Amino acid sequence: MSLVATIAERLDNAARDATAVPQIGETLTLDDAYAVQRLSIARRLARGERRAGIKMGFTSRAKRVQMGVDDVIWGRLTDAMRVGDAETIALGRFVHPRVEPEIAFILKRALPAHVSAAEALGAIEAVAPALEIIDSRYRDFRFSLTDVVADNASSSAFVLGNPARPDFDVANRGMILSMNGQAMEIGSSAAIMGHPLRSLITAARVAAEAGEPLGEGDIVLAGGATAAIALAPGAWIELEVAGLGQLGFACE
């Protein structure tokens, strides 16, 4: 078995068993890390999960500077990762669960690698407030750039709120992430590459470059608008996006 395949199996097992594993420790290129991610998700698809879209990461300039990278990272979503609004999530299925507020796009048609803002907007079926549960499978929630990419950009689960019309203006929308009724993080959708639509355009590029172009029905999580907060049993998590609505979930 190749090194890439070995690491993919290790990370897939860590996610299935909710068990922390050591950082990779091997010298991987970024291309190697995405190959690990692809093989790891392929194992899930082979078990019956279906592709649902992609998530974007490092969509704030501050985070890219912190990690020493010039571009965003991304991960893959499957249908098994989706949780319904107001449902209860068992935290035992995760290692270090955290949640961050997002804007989601649902597509009505395919997007090629290079699109204008108008073309991207025209491909949107709906927009929705969203919460992404991130979970590093590495010990102590510590990882390098290639570690996190290999680990599906820490993506683990997501919740979508009620969809809004496709031309809803998601620019500079206030976002409040609360736990048990107390505001924990307050931010704006403008933190997502200045405008979440830019993240969708970038998502079209990276997905096409990977040979998995965005298509009809795909969900794109545009990126975290604030820092993530740690989850705890008994917590009720809620996100309110100005003009777009609310959603939430319980933790057990």
Joined tokens for residue 9 = 């199996």
Question: What is the rounded distance in angstroms from the CA atom of residue 111 to the CA atom of residue 149?
Answer: 23
Would you mind telling me the total number of residues written for the chain in this entry?
252
Q: What share of the chain in percent tops pLDDT 70?
A: 98
244, 164 in Cβ contact below 8 A? yes
Max CA pair span of the chain: 51
Task: Supply the mean pLDDT for the chain.
Answer: 95
Q: How far is CA 79 from the centre of its chain?
A: 13
Domain parsing of the chain, residue ranges: 3-251
Confidence class for position 192, pLDDT limits 50, 70, 90: very high
**How much is the pTM?**
0.96
Asked whether residue 241 carries a pLDDT value surpassing 70, the answer given is: yes
Confidence class for position 67, pLDDT limits 50, 70, 90: low
Asked whether residue 64 carries a pLDDT value surpassing 90, the answer given is: no
Q: pLDDT digit string (tens) for 154-175?
A: 999 999 999 999 999 999 999 9
Asked whether residue 27 carries a pLDDT value surpassing 90, the answer given is: no
Residue 62 confidence (pLDDT): 63
Joined tokens for residue 76 = 């893959």
For the CA atoms of 70, 60, 117, 202, the dihedral, rounded to the nearest 10 degrees, stands at 50
Lowest mean pLDDT, pick from 63-72, 158-167, 193-202, 203-212: 63-72
SS3 9: helix
Question: What is the rounded distance in angstroms from the CA atom of residue 115 to the CA atom of residue 76?
Answer: 21
Question: What is the rounded distance in angstroms from the CA atom of residue 155 to the CA atom of residue 148?
Answer: 10
Q: pLDDT digit string (tens) for 95-146?
A: 999 999 999 999 999 999 999 999 999 999 999 999 999 999 999 988 899 9
Pairing of strands 82-83, 155-160: parallel
Residue where the block lists tokens 């979930």: 249
- The torsion angles phi and psi of 222, rounded to 5 degrees, stand at -75, -15
Pick the CATH number of 3-251 from 3.40.50.1370, 3.90.850.10, 3.40.640.10, 3.40.50.300: 3.90.850.10
